[in-house]
Structure 1
Amino acid sequence: MNIFLKEYLSVLKLEKNLSENTIQSYRNDITCFLNFLEEDNITDPDEIKQNNIVAFFKSLKDTGLTSRSASRYHSAIKGFFKYLFVSKYIKESPIEKVSPPKLSKNLPSVLSVNEIEMILSKPDVNDKLGLRDKATLELLYACGIRVSELINLKISSLFFSEEVIRVFGKGSKERIVPIGSSAVKWINEYLSKSRPLLEKKMKSENYLFLNTRGTKLSRMSIWKIVDKYVKEAGIKSDVHPHTFRHSFATHLLEGGADLRAVQEMLGHSDISTTQIYTHIDREYIKQMHKDFHPRG
């Protein structure tokens, strides 16, 4: 069945314009499902029944996979079956009556404003890489952009006179995001003092943030940068690049920002995704009441 998978992934890339990371995720999840079917000697899409799919998800649960990861598998496999059905490779989709795993409502971790300040104060701005890291962290928090958006950001997408940047999000959707004066200041410092020392004319293209080889930073580089300064700041909680995005949204809503405006800045297609941050805000308020009210 790998020929069907290959065909489906080509459609996702060429017609849906999905990123390489997303396509790789689909490939991994669906391949895992197909390998499971092969163990039962199922090699034809029309042979796949509802009970095979139920058995696959039971096997995932038995391995200790989280409900969120299982839900991702369900979404990937459902999309694959939809393609097979539309392409008339199968008469009906066997996954339609298989409910997706119920997600536990775990709220994303958020840094306090003070913790953000502690992290942002750690890079050595007198060092070329330290200055780059400072600008990177400032931008992560100022705009709440995803790591994939950050590493692909180009100088041509900076419009500092208007205090905005242009970001290409999931599915190459373009959006304009405001950027504060602090991030503008440090990015300008980086552009004038650090980036020229990192730039390699034939390699750097127009990417904003560069590594020592003169090419754009990788996703792993951003993880390492965040991890380094979180440890230096003495913060013990589990912090990753996406925590800056969670904190950006939560701090805006705590400050009274409109939910729709935050949705636009984050690039969420569905406002229900943004609403999770109102839950964080609510939990924070409840905790404050509990901690400080005489009868809390």
Structure 2
Amino acid sequence: MDNFYPTRNVFSPQAREKLFQERPVVANAFPINSVHIDWDRLIAKRPYVLETVDEMPAYLLKPEVVKLLNNEHNPQQRLILDLMWTVGGRVSEVLSLTPASFSNDGYDVLVRLKTLKQGAGRPSKRAQARSKVRHIPLKDPILLDRIQTHIRAGRFRSTERIFPITRQTVNNRINRLVESLGGAPFSVHSHTFRHSFAIHLLLHGRPLKYISQLLGHSSVQCTEIYTNVLISDASHFLEGVDFH
């Protein structure tokens, strides 16, 4: 995979010579092409989920995240929030990104995340060295354009962090943004976007194991907590079941 450098455009696939002529590729879309989601119902049911499920993390739903994104007018902060929302990265992982973290394999633009669990302070070099690596596809052309614009405007070196700020700065900015929009019934911080990413994929029928891999969880059991959003509102499972 080609790394991104300021003089090259990793976001456009490079032409490659093929040893053999390939047969035409038939596009195969994911089996679930579209879903209808009642966002108002899910938002109304959320307090019940958070109150009744032990250790259930607070989460936002798409309309709420989009509202936050649209009202964040600082381009750098907007991009950080967008990346946490669309790739499920921890804030420490997103803040560790460099231009070399982005690559193009000829089919997809990928962002390379090192699984860095949050703790006090910045991850040590030793912790980063032994961290697992995961590659997350970036499918949104608008987001790709914003990433490229940010990297080119900042003229970052290939191994230079593209977000030279702290986790606390990100969270403080999120707090001010939420307050400016009237507040929230629970604390919203950087990790909330990671939880929201996982739930958003579940609502669209994506496999739990795949979501677990994207999040960098050690096992699927760590990811199962999010499925409570699907099963806590169980009344619809009984619709159409006739007992008499």
TM above 0.5: yes
CA deviation vs aligned residue, 1:212-235 (integer Å, no higher than 9, x gap): xxxx22111221232232223334
Within 5 A, what are the aligned runs for 1:52-201?
105-124=54-73, 130-159=74-103, 162-170=108-116, 171-181=130-140, 182-193=142-153, 195-196=154-155
Q: Is the 8 A contact 1:138 1:186 kept in 2?
A: no
- Paired residue for 2:162? 208
- Paired residue for 1:60? none
CA deviation vs aligned residue, 1:46-70 (integer Å, no higher than 9, x gap): xxxxxxxxxxxxxxxxxxxxxxxxx
> Which structure ranks higher in relative contact order (CA pairs < 8 Å, sequence separation ≥ 6)?
2
Q: Does 1:250 find its partner at 2:199?
A: yes
The 2-side partners of 1:228 and 1:205 are apart by 31
Identity between Structure 1 and Structure 2 (%): 28
TM-score (norm 2): 0.63
Which runs of 5 or more structure 2 residues have no equivalent in the other structure? 1-52, 117-129
Q: Is the 8 A contact 2:99 2:151 kept in 1?
A: no
The 1-side partners of 2:175 and 2:236 are apart by 32
The 2-side partners of 1:289 and 1:228 are apart by 37
CA deviation vs aligned residue, 1:107-144 (integer Å, no higher than 9, x gap): 111111110010000122xxxxx111111111110101
Taking structure 1 as reference, are residues 226 and 174 closer, same or farther at Cα in structure 2, changes over 3 Å only?
same
Q: Is the 8 A contact 2:99 2:159 kept in 1?
A: no
Q: Relative to total residues, which structure has the larger helix share, 1 or 2?
A: 1
Which runs of 5 or more structure 1 residues have no equivalent in the other structure? 1-103, 125-129, 210-215
Secondary structure at the counterpart of residue 135 of structure 2: strand
Secondary structure at the counterpart of residue 177 of structure 1: strand
Secondary structure at the counterpart of residue 54 of structure 2: coil
What is the Cα deviation at residue 205 of structure 1? 5.3
AA matched with 1:153: L
Runs of 4+ in 1 over 3 A off after TM superposition: none
The 1-side partners of 2:58 and 2:231 are apart by 14
Q: If you compute each CA radius of gyration, which structure gives the higher value, 1 or 2?
A: 1
Q: How many residue pairs align between the two structures?
A: 170
What is the Cα deviation at residue 179 of structure 1? 2.0
- Paired residue for 1:50? none
